[in-house]
Chain A
Amino acid sequence: MEETKSLRRGEASMDVKDIIKGENLVYSKSSLMTDNVLSYCPGCGHGTVHRIIAEVIEELELQTQTIGIAPVGCSVLAYEFIDIDWLQSAHGRAPAVATGLKRVMPDKYIFTYQGDGDLAAIGTNETIHACNRGEHITIIFINNGIYGMTGGQMAPTTIPGMVSSTSPYGRDVSTMGNPIKISELVAQLPGTWYVTRQAVHKPGNVRKAKKAIRKAFENQALKKGVSLVEVVSNCNSGWKMTPVQANKWMEENMFSFYPLGDIKVEGQLVK
């Protein structure tokens, strides 16, 4: 059958081989993304954020200068996917590990990659104090409102009423407490230079998120303090939804609680 090999364009037909040519190349996988099979669920935002980080490091030519800190959580194996030096830290401690690394190598580019349970619950202390000391590091914070790796338990970021395996009737803030907006919180601290909230569920958002992550890496050269990029992401497996449903649910429910956009730029809160 010829259908699989040719694409119909009106009356004319074209062979795939005619399309795969240098001049038609508009996108390629970053050379810093390894060939390891991503361990993330189909539909999850982690892979996209990994790809953006790899592209930014490659474009800024920082491969030899960058060391990543992987957390405990779904992205514990981040070091399998981006071809740079990595450390794998204890749950929540990545900002302290990054502090130690950066203090002995002040000219290297150090970033942590952390989920919401890691950064906003067990690691709140390390997060707040690294931010308050103004460590010249980049924090990439993936907020999907849930503990993904352990199977969808309630996280500090789970929004009111949201169902999780440990809030099966929805988060009741009167007994389970309120979700924490960690980005708004650390933006209040003098040690943060850039705090922004992004998403990666649509091409436009991916482009904006990449721009933010690029800025967060470039900022390290300024030595002005922490740059934190929060990425509100889905967790379709944990949310028990299809990827499409999850993205829709995220837009309708998460973004009103966690509005996208810059929170602090060049050390100044965005009004």
Chain B
Amino acid sequence: MKKELRLLKGNEAIAEAAIRAGADAYFGYPITPQSEVLEYLMLEKPEERTGMVVLQAESELGAINMVFGAAAAGRRVISSSSSPGISLFQEGISYIAGAELPCVIVNVVRGGPGLGTIQPSQADYFQATKGGGHGDYHLLVLAPAFVQEMADFVPLGFELAFKYRNPVMILTDGLIGQMMEKVELFEQIPRATEFDQDWVATGKTPYRERNVVTSLDLQADQMEKRNHRLQAKYKIMQEEDVRYEEIACGDAEYLMVAYGSSARICQKTVQLAREKGIKAGLLRPITLYPFPTKYLEAMADKVKGILSVEMNAGQMVEDVRLAVDGKIPVEHYGRYGGMVHSPNEVLEALEEKIVKA
């Protein structure tokens, strides 16, 4: 089979991958820096290619609730937005998580808080990994670092969303969303034709009880049971679906932890550090939730210190510290508010905060 190579923006890769992943529907609302997702989909006429529904909603509230509706029918549904829009999604995401529906949500993060800026940022780490909306829930969070992964994580996202009946977030940023890279596209996955899962609201048949897709349990003991069910899923995620990449970690004395755009920058820093004789390594978490806690716990016995390098004021560093549990120094470095650190700035921080400390 001839490989299909395309030069695509990260946002376009998400859109093309959605069609190819056999998505049944996309609902979205324009916001910079991710509007290309909706634009690409509208241009591609997925209705003709696969029968996929694409609809521009009246708001992010509208979009996420359309996702809720279509997901309740057992369909593969995807939506995308950027930070301020993702904040508006949160009500719906909480309901989707509570009602245990699968879907994929892409956050092309920009600098915040508030209206912030349109430049790339990783400031939504807390919101993505700790729940985001109200209630005790988690999303499964995938963090692509390349346009290739923007494409590949869409079908992976659907697979995991349906495995857990839980929303999956692809947490990326304006840098990867806007950059163009070569992408090897996977072949078209056919859309599902049967939607007979035992939880779907597709019309009650005489052969089953009515299905009610709800996040409500008026009785607290029932609501606790629902929460137990959610927590059990998160435990399985921790056991079965932690994903990460090790870069020069084997002999590393100093470890950097970075995901997405920041990981690409830190990859260069590893090279620069090693040229100076500093044995640096990089852990790139690919799933931010579940977090590679066990890996870091083990690394705490092997390296002298860890620098968490994030395009924010220090968020993932808290998860790194929890994993390391005080055994070795853990520091944070990062530019934020839409600024992006350079490999040299990271190297300087590594030397100052970890190597010399």
A85→B57 contact, CB < 8 A: no
Tell me if B322 is interfacial: C-beta within 8 Å of chain A: no
CB of B211 within 8 A of CB of A100, answer no
A69 to B70, CA, bound (A): 12
Are A108 and B59 in contact, with the CB atoms below 8 A? Answer: no
Residues of B within 8 A of A88 (CB): 99, 212-216
Which listed residue, B24, B75, B204, B215, touches A63 by the CB 8 Å rule?
B204
Q: Complex formed: what's the CA distance from A64 to B206 in Å? A: 8
Q: A90 near B70 (CB under 8 angstroms)?
A: no
Say whether, besides A65-B203, A96-B61, A100-B77, A89 and B68 are in contact (CB < 8 Å): yes
Count of A residues near B, CB < 8 Å? 33
Given A86-B214, A97-B68: A129 in contact with B62 (beta carbons within 8 A): yes
Nearest-Cβ distance from residue A181 to partner chain B, whole angstroms: 21
Q: Number of residues in B with C-beta < 8 Å to the partner?
A: 41
Quick check: is A87 within 8 A (CB to CB) of the other chain?
Answer: yes
Closest to A62 in B: B203
Decide if the interface of chain A is mainly helix, strand, loop or mixed.
mixed
Q: Which of B177-220 contact A (CB under 8 A)?
A: 200-206, 210-216, 218
Q: Cβ of B118 < 8 Å from any Cβ of A?
A: no
Does A67 contact B67, Cβ atoms closer than 8 Å? no
Q: B222-279: which have CB < 8 Å to A?
A: none
Chain A residues, CB < 8 A from B24: 104
Decide if A85 touches B202 in the complex (CB within 8 Å).
yes
Q: How far is the CA of A129 from the CA of B29 in the complex (A)?
A: 13
B95 touches A (CB below 8 Å): yes
A210 on the B face (CB < 8 A): no
Closest B residue to A122 by beta carbon equals: B61
8 Å CB contact of B95 from A89, A99, A104: A89
Interchain CB contact under 8 A, A126 and B69: no
B27 at the interface (CB under 8 A from A): yes
Question: If the complex has contacts A87-B69, A90-B95, are A96 and B204 also in contact, measured as CB distance less than 8 A?
Answer: no
Given contacts A85-B203, A129-B58, contact A103 B66 (CB under 8 A): yes
Could you name 22 residue pairs across A and B whose Cβ atoms are closer than 8 Å? A64-B206, A70-B214, A76-B216, A79-B212, A83-B210, A85-B204, A86-B212, A88-B99, A88-B212, A89-B95, A93-B92, A96-B58, A96-B66, A96-B69, A100-B27, A100-B67, A104-B69, A104-B75, A105-B73, A105-B202, A125-B61, A126-B58
Known pairs A93-B65, A96-B65 / 8 extra A-B pairs, C-beta < 8 Å: A85-B200, A86-B213, A93-B61, A96-B58, A97-B66, A101-B70, A104-B70, A104-B73
Q: Which residues of A contact B (CB under 8 A)?
A: 63-67, 69-70, 76-77, 79, 83-90, 93, 96-105, 108, 125-126, 129
